[in-house]
Amino acid sequence: MSATQTMSTVPTSSLARTFLPWLLAALLVAVMPQIFGSGFAISLLCRMAIAAVFALSFNMLMGQGGMMDFGHAVYLGLGGFLAMHAMRAANAGWWIPTPALPLVGAFGGVVMAAVGGLVVARSTRTAFAMITMGLAEAIVALVLMLPRLFGGEEGINADRSGGPAVFGWDFGSPIEAYYVVSSWALLAALLMFLFTRTPLGRLSNAVRDNAERVGFLGYDPARVRYLIYIFSGLFAGLAGGLQAINDEIITAANIGSNAAGAVLLMTFIGGTGTFIGPVIGAVLVTLMQMALGTVTDAWQIYNGLIFVIMVLWAPGGISGIILAHAPLVRNGRGRLLLPSYLRTLPGFVLAIAGTVGLCEMAYRLQSIRGGGPRGGNILFLPADPETVAPWVVAAVMTTVGIWLLAVTAPPARGAWMHASGGTQA
């Protein structure tokens, strides 16, 4: 099941239909803090917004342009650092209102990407991925070596409420920061969306699909890649500026491979084939990391497992799955799928429960070995990982679950193909 994106011409009457979701999104953004008012929730929403912008900028390269940039976090970080310096300047009396900081970040991102792009834009897909990785490593090392500019291990921090007030707001409170961050995020997303509908945006799709042919249609593919790279750097830098506002600190960790890996995860899980995929991924992964991180130590391996499983069986990501099923739901053939899909549930539940059990116990063992506390529950069940019994149970659950899946999945896939067969154009 792969995601295909069909683009149609846009008659003016459906312009409204295109922009309705954006209006709804704006409404949602405005109203969210009223529904989820706690400090934790607001901070989470900000994080999601920043991650969404970053993931969208990453997908400009990956999903739209076919370029795998492993160093993308560099532009977020460098934009963020520039914004932090501007924030410091504002604290020192310069007139730089906090809402203008994302622009500073964008500027930092653009300039750095213009330089970085010169190095990488000529490379083909495989080499591109490797070079961007190398470039990112080099820049992380450089950042740590220049403490005056980048604050060494502690990074650069400043006070977002220490700048000039705008309309009586000083942006110190979380909710004021939320409105700045989310408005900018919405604007950035809208701009990136419009970009996909410009000639350059379409050209990047063409380069993704067939760079050679593009060369025979009058364009230099390397030049197209370079331009796209600069734009995606702009938006990544903007995300960095947003992060500067939200966290009031940027460190070398924000540039490194962890951040780069995180955005890759988000974009991929959400789905690279649609515009909204990265947003879905950003929201889900941020939620997962916040939620899982407090409950278990095993989230790193869950990350990896989810990643691998999605690559194997749902490479179009969540939005790909939605796209594969939306037409069926719309024309009513969706109910044909229910029986076979439902039959896969027991296998799913068992396999997941068993795997989670195994992982949790493994991590508990590791923490015990490291001197941590014994006893207590694994998640919510009393189980002692130092005895054999729970391991056997979990292993059996996993094996049976996988076996059930192996048996019930092919008919489910067959049902989907049968149901979609009637909807082909």
Residues 116 to 175 in contact with other proteins, rule: CB under 8 A: 119, 122-127, 129-131, 133-135, 137-138, 141-142, 145-149
Buried b / exposed e over 310-349, threshold 16 CB at 10 Å, is: beeebebbbbbbbbbbeebeeeebeebbeebbebbeebee
- Residue 133 vs 409, nearer CB to other proteins: 133
Work out which of 184, 195, 235, 416 binds other proteins, going by CB under 8 A.
Answer: 195
Tell me how far CA of residue 320 lies from CA of 54, 215, 323, 331, 361, in angstroms.
Answer: 20, 30, 5, 18, 33
Q: State the minimum distance, in angstroms, from the CB of residue 1 to other proteins.
A: 10
Q: Which of residues 290-329 bind other proteins (CB under 8 A)?
A: 300-301, 303-305, 307-308, 311-312, 315
Q: Which of residues 372-411 bind other proteins (CB under 8 A)?
A: none
Work out which of 27, 197, 331, 407 binds other proteins, going by CB under 8 A.
Answer: 197
Instruction: With contacts defined by CB under 8 A, name the span among 34-42, 181-189, 199-207, 340-348 that binds other proteins.
Output: 199-207
User: Hunting for tokens 């063992």 — which residue is that?
Assistant: 365
Interface with other proteins, residue 4, by CB under 8 A:
yes
Instruction: With contacts defined by CB under 8 A, name the span among 161-169, 177-185, 210-218, 378-386 that binds other proteins.
Output: 210-218
- Residue 53 vs 269, nearer CB to other proteins: 269
Interface with other proteins, residue 25, by CB under 8 A:
no
DSSP code of 274? S
Work out which of 172, 215, 334, 346 binds other proteins, going by CB under 8 A.
Answer: 215
The residues, ordered by sequence, that sit 6+ positions from 198 with a Cβ below 8 Å of its Cβ are none
DSSP code of 65? T
Euclidean distance between CA atoms 135 and 129, whole angstroms: 10
Q: State the minimum distance, in angstroms, from the CB of residue 265 to other proteins.
A: 9
User: Hunting for tokens 């239909």 — which residue is that?
Assistant: 17
Contact characters 240-279, other proteins, x per CB under 8 A: -----------------x---x--x---x-----------
Q: State the minimum distance, in angstroms, from the CB of residue 161 to other proteins.
A: 29
Paired tokens of 185: 């995020």
Work out which of 365, 393, 402, 409 binds other proteins, going by CB under 8 A.
Answer: 365
Contact characters 323-362, other proteins, x per CB under 8 A: ---------------------------------------x
Euclidean distance between CA atoms 34 and 100, whole angstroms: 25
Beta strands in 243-380 (DSSP E): 249-250, 377-378
Q: State the minimum distance, in angstroms, from the CB of residue 109 to other proteins.
A: 16
Smallest Cα–Cα separation from 378: which of 362, 360, 363, 395? 360
User: By rule CB under 8 A, what count of residues binds other proteins?
Assistant: 81
- Residue 66 vs 390, nearer CB to other proteins: 66
Q: Are the C-beta atoms of residues 139 and 76 closer than 8 Å to each other?
A: no
Work out which of 95, 167, 216, 380 binds other proteins, going by CB under 8 A.
Answer: 216
Work out which of 201, 241, 278, 390 binds other proteins, going by CB under 8 A.
Answer: 201
Instruction: With contacts defined by CB under 8 A, name the span among 40-48, 50-58, 182-190, 198-206 that binds other proteins.
Output: 198-206
Q: Are the C-beta atoms of residues 217 and 49 closer than 8 Å to each other?
A: no
The values of phi and psi at residue 238, to 5°, are -60, -45
The residues, ordered by sequence, that sit 6+ positions from 345 with a Cβ below 8 Å of its Cβ are none
Interface with other proteins, residue 10, by CB under 8 A:
yes
Euclidean distance between CA atoms 41 and 174, whole angstroms: 10
